[in-house]
Structure 1
Amino acid sequence: MSVNNLNIRRLLKEDIDKPSKELSIYLLGKILVRKLEGDTILKGRIVETESYLGGEDKASNTYNGRRTAANEPMYMPAGTTFVYMTYGMYHCINISSKEPGAAVLLRALEPLSGIEAMQKFRAQKMKSKKNEIKTSKLCDGPSKLCISMNITKQNLNKVDVTDPENREIWLEDDPEFEKENIKIVHTSRIGIASAGVEWASKPLRFYILNNDSVSKRDKVAEEDFHSDVDTS
Structure 2
Amino acid sequence: MELQLPEGLVSPGRAFTSMPRKRQRVQTLHNAPCKMVLLESTEQNEPPSSCSEEQNPKMSRYFQNLKVRLPSEFYNQPCIELAKSFLGQVLVHKLPDGTELRGRIVETESYLGGEDEASHSRGGKRTERNVAMYMKPGTIYVYQIYGIYFCMNVSSKGDGAAVLLRSLEPLEGLDMMRNYRNGRRHEKAKPLKDSELCNGPSKLCQALDLNKNYNRRDLSDDQDTWMEAGSKILDQDIVSCARIGIGSAGEWAKKPLRFYIKGNKYVSVRDKVAEANS
The TM-score with structure 2 as length reference comes to 0.75
2: distance between equivalents of 1:205 and 1:39? 33
Q: Which residue of 1 aligns with 2:226?
A: 170
Shift of 1:6: 6.9
| Alignment map for 1:35-184 (pairs within 5 Å) | 35-128=94-187, 131-153=190-212, 155-163=213-221, 166-174=222-230, 177-180=231-234, 183-184=237-238
Unaligned runs of 5+ in 1: 226-232
Taking a change above 3 Å as real, the CA distance of residues 6 and 85 of structure 1, as seen in their structure-2 partners, is: closer
2: distance between equivalents of 1:7 and 1:199? 38
1: distance between equivalents of 2:177 and 2:198? 9
Q: Which has the higher strand share?
A: 1
| Alignment map for 1:20-39 (pairs within 5 Å) | 20-39=79-98
> Over the residues paired in the alignment, what is the CA RMSD in angstroms?
1.4
Q: Which residue of 1 aligns with 2:240?
A: 186
Shift of 1:194: 1.0
Q: Which residue of 2 aligns with 1:222?
A: 275
Runs of 4+ off more than 3 Å = none
Matching residue's letter, 2:238: I
Shift of 1:88: 2.4
Percent identity reads: 51
Shift of 1:128: 2.7
Q: Which residue of 1 aligns with 2:266?
A: 213
Q: Secondary structure at the match of 1:194?
A: coil
Shift of 1:182: 6.4
Taking a change above 3 Å as real, the CA distance of residues 147 and 129 of structure 1, as seen in their structure-2 partners, is: farther
The TM-score with structure 1 as length reference comes to 0.89
CA contact (8 A) 1:10 1:171 kept: yes
Unaligned runs of 5+ in 2: 1-63
- Structure 1 or 2, whichever has the larger Rg, is 2
Taking a change above 3 Å as real, the CA distance of residues 103 and 192 of structure 1, as seen in their structure-2 partners, is: same
Shift of 1:42: 0.2
65-74 or 180-189: bigger deviation: 180-189
Matching residue's letter, 1:212: K
Shift of 1:131: 3.5
2: distance between equivalents of 1:191 and 1:178? 29
Matching residue's letter, 1:97: S
CA contact (8 A) 1:186 1:207 kept: yes
CA contact (8 A) 1:182 1:208 kept: no
